[in-house]
Amino acid sequence: MSKIITEGLNKKTKDIDIVSTVKLVELINNEDKIVAKAVGKEKKKIAAAIDLIADKFSNGGHLLYFGAGTSGRLGVLDASECPPTFGVDEKMVQGFIAGGDTALRTAIEGAEDSSENAVTDLVKSEATSNDVVVAISASGNANYIISLLKNAKAKKIKTIGICCNKSAKMKDLSDIFICPIVKEEVITGSTRMKAGTAQKMVLNMLSTGAMVKIGKTYKNYMIDVKPTNEKLKNRAINIVSELANISKKDAAVALEQTAFDVKKAVAMLWFNTNLETAEKLLDDNNGVLRKIKY
């Protein structure tokens, strides 16, 4: 355990149980400040991972997250946000947690120690060499993760490892190894804190970066948003209004004509054309709005 930095004792927070509440908050906040810098040091590896994922997406591949405990929950969370944010099929980005969906709400004892469950989950994911497997783990040593990576590599699937322990076993099994060193946790071994925050930041970058690379945004606008509620409908109206430089009322009218498809509405308005022509423009450019009007 001495080699696993996330399990070490944080001397800066050793009196956290006797300080004032304001000081307690300050201690946690100061430790959290370490996280962004640690993630920033891994920017080249994160960029390489984004390019790999985007390339697989462009060829019909999938992004598959696997993890146990907090790490697994973070993967499932990131995957579940991709369809409403980027308008993609729910299978394009998937999250798997050791112990199954029950483990999302309830700790499943021993789930991270099961090599067999990793094999089962990989089979369930239907992963092929056209996909990318991302293994998430604070220590990078859990049997579930190691078994998963070994089996993925045997299937010639590209692997990305994310952890906060530079001596992790997963390192040698990952084609790209992303390891922000956030040091000892505020509460010894509570890796849902700094390690979890670091993992969340990296996952945000991986999915968002890859989606941007394949044209799921125009500038920084969420042009493939699925308007499944009033908030998202209003967001779609605002985007069309701003990109086409028209009133929100006119933007809403254009969106009604396209079943609230932002890209089609914008293309119609940019070129003052009908829906059929707008659809052809998008089809000819692989649905990338940037290619229509740079």
Same domain, 123 and 175: yes
Same domain, 183 and 45: yes
Examine residue 122 and state whether it is found in any structural domain, yes or no.
yes
Asked if 66 contacts 145 with a C-beta cutoff of 8 angstroms, the reply is: yes
Q: Percentage of residues in the chain with pLDDT exceeding 90?
A: 86
Same domain, 130 and 255: no
Same domain, 118 and 264: no
Which of 182, 213, 244 lies at the terminal end of a domain, its last residue? 213
Same domain, 272 and 159: no
Examine residue 222 and state whether it is found in any structural domain, yes or no.
no
Kindly state the average pLDDT of the residues 55-71.
96
Examine residue 221 and state whether it is found in any structural domain, yes or no.
no
Same domain, 14 and 133: yes
Q: Predicted confidence band at 25 (pLDDT cuts at 50, 70, 90)?
A: very high
Which of 188, 213, 238 lies at the terminal end of a domain, its last residue? 213
Same domain, 208 and 253: no
Please state, rounded to an integer, the average pLDDT across all residues of the chain.
94
Kindly state the average pLDDT of the residues 53-82.
96
Domain containing residue 132: 5-213
CATH number at residue 274: 1.10.8.1080
Same domain, 33 and 90: yes
Examine residue 218 and state whether it is found in any structural domain, yes or no.
no
For 135-180, the pLDDT digits (tens) are 999 999 999 999 999 999 999 999 999 999 999 999 999 999 999 9
Examine residue 224 and state whether it is found in any structural domain, yes or no.
no
Question: Where in the sequence numbering do the catalytic residues fall?
Answer: 81, 112
Same domain, 209 and 252: no
pLDDT score of 1: 42
At which residue do the structure tokens 């009133």 appear? 247
Kindly state the average pLDDT of the residues 46-65.
98
- Classify burial at 270, counting beta carbons within 10 Å of its beta carbon; exposed 0-12, middle 13-18, buried 19 or more: middle
Q: Predicted confidence band at 102 (pLDDT cuts at 50, 70, 90)?
A: confident
Examine residue 246 and state whether it is found in any structural domain, yes or no.
yes
Kindly compute the dihedral angle of the four CA atoms of residues 166, 168, 170, 171, in this order, to the nearest 10 degrees: 30
CATH number at residue 67: 3.40.50.10490
Please state the domain count of the chain: 2
Question: Which has more pLDDT, 104 or 130?
Answer: 130
For 104-129, the pLDDT digits (tens) are 888 776 677 677 889 999 999 999 99
Same domain, 241 and 208: no
Sheet holding 132-136, edge to edge: 93-97, 63-67, 132-136, 158-162, 176-178
Examine residue 262 and state whether it is found in any structural domain, yes or no.
yes
Same domain, 135 and 257: no
Examine residue 223 and state whether it is found in any structural domain, yes or no.
no
Asked if 237 contacts 252 with a C-beta cutoff of 8 angstroms, the reply is: yes
Residue 133, beta-bridge partner list: 64, 159
Reported residue count of the chain is 294
Kindly state the average pLDDT of the residues 34-62.
98
Same domain, 57 and 22: yes
CA-to-CA separations, 26 to 23, 29, 30, 169, 184, in angstroms, rounded: 5, 5, 6, 34, 16
